[in-house]
Structure formats: structure tokens, C-alpha cells
Amino acid sequence: MSITTRNNVHIAGEGRLTIVFAHGFGCDQNMWHSLAPNFESRYRTVLFDLVGSGESDLATYDRRKYASLDGYASDVLEIVDELGADPVIYVGHSVSAMIGMLAAIRAPERFLANIMVGPSPSFINDGDYVGGFTRQDIQNLLDTLEANYLGWSSTMAPAIMGAPDQPALGEELTNSFCRTDPDIAKHFARVTFLADHRADLSRVTTPTLVIQSNDDLLAPMAVGEYLHRMIPGSTLSVVKNVGHCPHLSAPCASIDAIERFLAALNH
């Protein structure tokens, strides 16, 4: 099976540089509809679905391979190599921000920049580190998800989205969660919410932008500030937004942050 089919890869635009967009947990590439088209006139844009999500080939979902985010990072590197492009600009939302970081650590020559939208290296509080949740909070979340995935989705998706003045976005995320295979979602949720990649942050050499919402249920301000401190030479851009998906609920501010960052890099 081709990588393009496995990950449902779609390419648009004809620019000299390539931007790869990677979605978060419970989502698919359609979640970039308010942001990615803005770049098509100047860049080649690449959208794809993580294996197990969207229109990817679910038959290729291997629980052993995807027992950690490293399996997804391997897929990202295969997609980048398949593109045959010069080094790419990678834009990852939430868990895919960490996936892109791991890929760039392994093959820094393949990445011009890493743009993290609502990232978190660890959701669990630990000593002085504020991830936003206690370990019991996360365990309760996973237990609820395991017992009733659809019910969990209908409750959590609007809370994760935030955007109280845009209720349609909460419905959009709920529908996305509900389209995801429940067994795969349960497995991916454990991998996502129990991951801890704080020790990897100091290994980053790729120019990095952290886009942080000022009010985010899943990744509070302290997380964005921590990433900025720990990733050498990183840039932090705080977007006025309630929720975990500023690329949907505050697309103009998110686009402006990306544009400023790329301009500073002469990209």
C-alpha cells in the first residue's frame, strides 16, 4: 500500500516551499479548513490523516507500532520523504505538535520549521511542572472514555473546543470525534494523554513556534510558557482565544502568528 493511500494525503498549491499540516486527537485533516487554504497561493500544502483517523486506511493501524508517538513520527518522516520535497515547514495541532517534534529530532535536515498549535509535552502535573491535570484526573478521563466513548465525545468535544460564541465549532468537533473508530480512539487517547516528552524538548534544533491560546482547558498558559523556556530559541505567540483549537476558533490570529514567524525566518 502506498503512503499516500495509507494516510489519505492531499496536496494543493504550487509554492517553492511545502507546509505539512497534522491534526490532533479525534480529528482529521478537515480541521484545517479555516487555515490551510490561506497558504495555498504561496506554498505547496500537504494535508493527511494520522493512521486510525479520518479516511486513513484503518487496516494499517498496528497497536504495537502506535503504542507511542514514535510510530506516528515514523509515518511523518515517510510522508515527507514521499513528497520528495526540500525540507518542510510542519504545522501540528496538539498531540501532532509532539509527533512533529519527535520526527524533527530524528531527521532535523527534513524540517525548516516546526509550528506547534496548542501543544503539550505532558498533561499531568509533576512537581513544579504544571500540565493542567492530576494523574487521577487523566485516569478518570480515560476510564470515562473507555466506558462510553460516544457519551464522552459529546461532553468533552465542546469543552475542548471552547469558543463559546461559536457553538457550531463544538458540534463540528463532536461529529469528528464520533466518526472516529471507538476502539482506535480509546487506544490513541491513552497514548496521547499519558505521553511525557518533556525530556525531548532540549534536543530540538528546528526553529519552533508555539501558538498558545490564552484560555485553554487542555494546555493552559503554563504549558506554553514551559515549552518556550525548554525548547532552545523557540518563539511563543499567545492568541486571544478560549479553547484548544485556535486554528478553528481564531484562525486569523493563528495565521498572523504563523506569517510573522515565517517572515522572521525569511520563509
Query: Residues with catalytic annotation?
Result: 94, 216, 244
SS (H, E, C) 82-103: HHCCCCEEEEEECHHHHHHHHH
Query: What is d(CA 237, CA 260) in angstroms, rounded to the nearest whole number?
Result: 10
| Residue in 69, 34, 39, 38 with CA at minimum distance from that of residue 51 | 69
Q: Where are the beta strands (DSSP E) in 163-204?
A: none
Query: What is d(CA 123, CA 126) in angstroms, rounded to the nearest whole number?
Result: 9
* Assigned C-alpha cell, 136: 487521577
**In Å, what is the CA distance from 151 to each residue of 84, 122, 155, 160, 186?**
42, 25, 6, 14, 13
| Residue in 8, 27, 85 with CA at minimum distance from that of residue 77 | 85
DSSP string, 199-251: GGGGG--S-EEEEEEEE-SSS-HHHHHHHHHHSTT-EEEEEEEESS-HHHHSH
How does strand 111-117 pair with strand 88-93?
parallel
